[in-house]
Structure 1
Amino acid sequence: MTADLDRLAARLARAADDAGLLDVAFTTVDTPVGPLLLAATGQGLVRVAYAAEDHDAVLQSLADRISPRVLRAPARLDPAVRQLEEYFAGRRRAFDLPLDLRLSAGFRRDVLTRLREVGYGRTASYAALAAAAGSPRAVRAVGTACATNPLPVVVPCHRVVRSDGALGDYVGGVAAKRTLLSLEAAA
């Protein structure tokens, strides 16, 4: 019975997507840092959320901010799921996905762009990132940009640490940040 319902849901999601009625597709994926919610628009991956962020609340926020036409449609997210699986298996060092950055603007978006420049297995301080973004005194603003990053893991805010080398906070929790940094250091 469950398999029949899954096939029906997949068929309905494909039909909605084909008819242009699906504005935000989502799925969840189990990872070493817990279940991640992935959401994508026609432009690209728009949201990655940890369970601690409350997936239902994240979906409601997407419905409010982007469109109420949100549907579980895993097929649209197959490339993202595959790349995350490769990343967690140590076979991928950078993500090659179209991203929809509409949930960030201004300085926060500038910081997201700079985050993608912090290489796999490396870290940068909040202060260094502020300087790279052209605002060396905006260390707290960089912290806020990292804390509100709509695409954690894919846009690697986990690679940003305090100037004294301490990990600092992380949207997925300090344990998740430590796991991600350890995974990258082991490669």
Structure 2
Amino acid sequence: MQQPSITYSKRTIWIHWVSTVLIFGLIYTGINMEHQAVSERKFILYQIHFSLGILVFLLTIIRIIGLCKDRKPKNLYPKKSIRERVRKCVYYGFYISIIWMCVSGLASLFLEGIIHSVQSSNWQDLPEISVDGFHPIMLSHHIMAKMIFLLLLFHISGFVLHLIQKKENTLKRIWFN
């Protein structure tokens, strides 16, 4: 086992921040297309959303592999403390949620019939999903999106609390040198 470092690896740092930007793009496109009627604009948002989702999925897989190989910074809190347990829940919760969001998003392409419009590149082939209700996989995709918001809130709150209480900027662990 490698010794803990002060910062995450460059690979992890780059993937973290690129994924962050892409996830905010996914949130933006997801919210904007959710209640829109079938239109060319909605179709474009779907295309962007799917492309960003595939990129996030690939980056997350690479990051998980990297986390097994790369050195990690030492823990901020004692191993058995409640704060360390909460931090780990948020940390692993992100990975599980992101992987599920990607898998459920890809499955929804087929289960909701969206794949036909993607293949034809014709926005008029886009199904009106809200008429029949969501497939359970698509519904889980929407529920997990709320979980991502909650995890993001915990993630940012943890940073702010650590900054206030310990007067330590933990951002330097995941920031570029």
TM-score (normalizing by structure 2): 0.26
- Structure with greater Cα Rg: 2
Higher relative contact order (CA 8 A, sep 6+): 2
